Amino acid sequence: MRASGDPAAAAAAPHVSVILPVHNAELWLDECLESVLQQDFEGAMELSVFNDASKDKSAAIIDKWKVKLEGSGIPVVIGGHDSASPRGVGYSKNQAIAQSSGSYLCFLDSDDVMMPQRVRLQLEAAAQHPTSIIGCQVRREPPDSTERYTRWINQLAPDQLLTQVFTSNGPTVIMPTWFCSRAWFSHVGPFDEGGQGVPEDLLFFHNHLRKGGGVIRVDQSLLLYRYHPNAATRSVLETTIWTHRVRFLEERVLPHWAAFTIWNAGRQGRRLYRSLTAEARRKVVAFCDVDEKKIRKGFYCYEDSQERPKPRVPILHFRAARPPFVICVKLISWSRLWSSVRPAGGGQPHSRARRCPDTTQPGQLLPRLSP
C-alpha cells in the first residue's frame, strides 16, 4: 500500500494496469477494490474500470473508491455506458484495456479479491516470461463449493498446464488470475465481443497457444475466487465449450496423426466421433473399452451419417487397441485418471496426464504437442 498522497507515485507512468470489468457488482466491489489498495507492489500502478451498464450501486461504489485509491497514489480510469443492456465481459475487458496505459495487464473480476502480493509476484514472473500468460493458485469461496475443480486449478504440474488444455475445465490457468504484458496481449487479442454465452477467455487462450504463448503459474494462492449463481461463466453452455474444444483438437492434434483410436465406446466417445468433421472421422480406426457388452457388439454404426455405406467402426478391448488414443470420458466420482499415449508410429509416450475435475462435463486427455 502506498503512502497517502504520494506525488511521485501519482505522477509516474503506470507500469501495471489492473483491468476490472464491472456489471451489477455492488455485493462484492468494496472488498475487491480494497484488495487493489492493499497491494504491496511499490511500483507505479493504475486501476482501469469499465462499468458495463450496471443498474445497481456499482457506479457510486467505484466513485467512492476512486477518491481513496488516488489519495494513496493509485490513479483510477473509469469508463462505461448506461445502455439498457450490457455489452458483455469481452467488450468490457477490451474497453478497460484500451483506456489503460500500463506495460502489464493484471486481470481482476469484480467478485474476486487479490492477496496483497499478487501484482508483485506475477509481475516478476511476467518479466521473465514475456510471451506467457501468468496465473496463480486460488482459494475458493465458499471453500467447499467446487473442491475437485479447485484442486485441478492448484495442483496441475507445470507440463500439465499445456497437456491438459483440452479438458472440460477450460484454460489451465483461470481467467481471473491472468497477468501478461500489454505487448503480448496486443499480439494475441482482443477478446471476442460476442456477449453473453461466449467463452471469451477460452477463445483468447486458444489464440494465445496458436501464437506460441506459454502458460506459467505462480504457486502461491494469490486470489480469492468466488463462486456464486450470477457468475458470468455460468451463462456459457456446455455444448458451446464442447464445440470449441473439438475444433481446437482437430486443428492442433489430429493433423499430426494418420489414424487414432477413441478410448471409450460409450456415450461420450460416440459423441466425440459424431462431432468430428468427416475428414477427422475417417482417421478413427477403432473404439476401445473395458465393457464386455460393448466389445461383444463388435462395432459402432454411425446411423446419421450421409455416407453410403454408413461407417462401421470396430470396438476393441483396450489391450487390442493401437495408439495414439483420444481418451474421452465423463468423470464424476473419479479422483484421477492417468494415461500414457504413444505417438503414431510407435516410440515413447509423449506425456502422462492427470485430471481432477469437479464438473460432470466430458474431458479429453491428449498427448502433449508443442503449441
Q: Are 306 and 285 in contact (CB under 8 A)?
A: no
Is residue 57 predicted with pLDDT exceeding 90?
A: yes
Q: Residues 276-286: pLDDT tens digits?
A: 999 999 999 99
Buried b (16+ CB within 10 A) or exposed e, 252-268: bbbeebeebbbbbbeeb
Q: Residues 299-312: pLDDT tens digits?
A: 999 887 777 788 89
Per-residue pLDDT band at 232 (split at 50, 70, 90): low
- Higher pLDDT among residues 363 and 39, named by residue: 39
Q: For 181-207, what is the mean pLDDT?
A: 94
Whole-angstrom distance, CA of residue 200 vs CA of residue 244: 11
Q: Residues 69-90: pLDDT tens digits?
A: 999 999 999 999 999 999 999 9
- Higher pLDDT among residues 224 and 366, named by residue: 224
Query: Which pTM was predicted?
Result: 0.84
Is residue 205 predicted with pLDDT exceeding 50?
A: yes
Q: What pLDDT, on a 0 to 100 scale, did the predictor assign at position 366?
A: 46
Q: What pLDDT, on a 0 to 100 scale, did the predictor assign at position 307?
A: 76
Whole-angstrom distance, CA of residue 220 vs CA of residue 138: 8
Q: What pLDDT, on a 0 to 100 scale, did the predictor assign at position 13?
A: 83
Which residues, 6+ apart, have CB-to-CB distance to 234 below 8 Å? none
